[in-house]
Amino acid sequence: MPKLNVVSEVFPLAQVFKISRGARTEAHVVKVTLTEGENTGYGECVPYARYGETVEGVIADIEAQADALARGMTRKELQDAMKAGAARNAVDCAYWDLEAKRAGRRVWEMIGHKAPEGLITAETLSIDTPDNMREAARKIAHAPLLKVKLNGESVLESVRAVREGSPKARIIVDANEAWSLDLLEDIGAELDGLGVEMIEQPLPAGQDDGLIDIDCPVLLCADESVHTMADIPRLANLYDMINIKLDKTGGLTGALELAEAASKAGMQLMTGCMVGTSLAMAPAMIPGAMSRIVDLDGPIWMARDRENALTFTNGVMGLPDRDLWG
């Protein structure tokens, strides 16, 4: 039966990461280890204050399952024992890793998927002045896909600046709930003209019903509004796309269920992440291989990453090492 170990870790960022809700200089993560005999599975989650999570609370939720795990609780049973969120994500991903090592196979082989090779991840530009964002875009002009973090100020000026700094890149933008319906209607056509491919979570979650009445020329993607497959019936008429994050779905198991439900509803897929290490990104590459847009650049922000870290070459992600995950 698996033996549980859970620890909190802090990884400094190479530069300040700023979104509409604030800025951070460190990534606070929780790492789970499940050991059974000679095999060890690993998982990582990022507790997120936006969803009422703390490092201490997540660790307590995970440790509360220690006895059940020791008695042989299965990954399927885990889905009912824990609610969707960061805590279940870390345990679920550690379970997948452990199962793969028991079987001597890669996780994607176990579920009949192709290897997630050649994924192109977005590289993120955090909120700054338009001039600074232009310069930041120039520095990563090699990146084929840029994600531009925005608030409700200087939106068009910022996107124009990024486009000037990187004329050839695909661009997506993320408002992190900072816009109004009026602002979205006012600038949608201009963003389309600047080559913006997708707008992520323009309105606050739970206050986005008005999207049903607008005709935006740019794809609209739900992030904070979508956590699990239960959200799809409401969102299918509001958004064109959903952002799958394992810290929201409660792990790879829930992510695969969400991807299937959204696809059946005619929605396109994006796979994203919180700011975490390569250990958090590796399992997300599996739904990433099913997605139109991949945003798994968390490790690029790290001043240091884990051993056996993922590689990133001009935006292209290398397959995860077996010793990292999966």
First-to-last alpha carbon distance for the chain, in angstroms, is 19
The DSSP secondary structure of 135-171, one letter per residue, reads: HHHHHTTT-SEEEEE--SSSHHHHHHHHHHH-TTSEE
| 3 catalytic residue (yes or no) | no
Cα separation, 202 vs 262, whole angstroms: 19
Read off the tokens for 261.
């439900």
- The residues, ordered by sequence, that sit 6+ positions from 53 with a Cβ below 8 Å of its Cβ are 47, 85, 86, 87
CA 310 vs. chain centroid, Å, equals 15
- Rounded to whole angstroms, the Cα distance separating 48 from 223 reads 14
Q: Is 66 helix (H, G, I), strand (E, B) or coil?
A: helix
- Between CA 231 and CA 226 the distance in angstroms is 6
**Of 206, 245, 197, 255, the residue nearest 223 (C-alpha):** 245
Distance, CA of 241 to CA of 153 (rounded, Å): 25
Of 31, 245, 248, 264, which residue is the catalytic one? 245
Show Cβ contacts of residue 56 under 8 Å, excluding neighbours closer than 6 positions.
Answer: none
Active site residue 245: yes
Contacts with 322 (C-beta within 8 Å, 6 or more apart), sequence order:
106
- CA-based nearest residue to 297, from 124, 116, 89: 124
Q: Which residues of 179-216 are buried (b: 16+ CB within 10 A; e: fewer)?
A: bebeebeebbeebeebebbbbbbbbeeeebeebeeeeb
For the CA atoms of 257, 260, 262, 268, the dihedral, rounded to the nearest 10 degrees, stands at 130
How do strand 196-200 and strand 3-19 relate by DSSP bridges? unpaired
Q: Out of 31, 101, 149, 248, which one is annotated catalytic?
A: 149
The residues annotated as belonging to the active site are 149, 245
